[in-house]
Amino acid sequence: MTGLGPVRPRVGREKNVAKIRVETTINGEETELLCAGQESLLDALRDGLGMTGTKEGCTTGDCGACSVVLDGRLVPSCLVLAAEANGRTVQTIEGLAEGSKLTAVQQQFLEHGALQCGICTPGFIVAAEKLLEKNPDPTEQEARYFLAGNLCRCTGYDKIIRAVLDAAAVMREERA
């Protein structure tokens, strides 16, 4: 008996079950996709729609690389079933910049060098945008605790946190 990997397959059924049709809004665009019942939103985005900006790091909700926003809530897309997105809105990293205008968070990540390999970056940016939406003036500790669910192995988090705090300042300025 062998086999290690993500979803453990079920064997012994006679019939295939039809795929589920999901109508959802992704980054403001109405989108239709077909998915299996047990398929994660992460897999539907990446494999179904070719939207590979959202990353898979663990499939168990421990690393934050798969962060998206579902109906306004920050969630780990590896632990959301694609079928749940029916009638809901999804926001991913691909939808943050408006044309050529990067968000303050994106811009500060670049200026601070808050990325080295870049694999955790989409997840961090999606999460940081949510942090600043809820808390426009976070302390360093508040930022660190909010982002504790996003793992980074390259940076030691220093430049990421600085980028987030500076982005918050920029955003407060712009609103003022």
Restricted to residues 59-118, the positions that interact with another protein (CB under 8 A) are 59-65, 67, 70, 73-76, 78-81, 83-84, 86, 92-94, 96-97, 102, 106, 109-113, 115-118
Position 154 contacts another protein (CB under 8 A): yes
Which one, 33 or 131, has the nearer CB to another protein? 131
Which one, 16 or 175, has the nearer CB to another protein? 16
What is the Cα–Cα distance from 10 to 40, expressed in whole angstroms? 16
Position 53 contacts another protein (CB under 8 A): yes
Which one, 33 or 109, has the nearer CB to another protein? 109
Which one, 10 or 175, has the nearer CB to another protein? 10
Torsion of CA 10, 14, 16, 17, to 10 degrees: -80
Position 58 contacts another protein (CB under 8 A): yes
10 Å CB burial of residue 89 (0-12, 13-18, 19+) is middle
What is the Cα–Cα distance from 56 to 41, expressed in whole angstroms? 11
Which one, 114 or 176, has the nearer CB to another protein? 114
**Minimal CA–CA distance to 112: which of 72, 35, 151, 168?**
168
- Supply the minimum distance, in Å, between the C-beta of residue 174 and another protein: 18
CA end-to-end distance (rounded Å), the chain? 63
- Supply the minimum distance, in Å, between the C-beta of residue 172 and another protein: 21
Three-class SS of residue 101?
Answer: strand
- Supply the minimum distance, in Å, between the C-beta of residue 176 and another protein: 25
Angle between helices 121-134 and 104-112 (to 10 degrees): 130
Residue in 52, 137, 139, 172 binding another protein, rule: CB under 8 A: 52
Structure tokens that stand for 74 in this block: 């920050």
- Supply the minimum distance, in Å, between the C-beta of residue 54 and another protein: 7
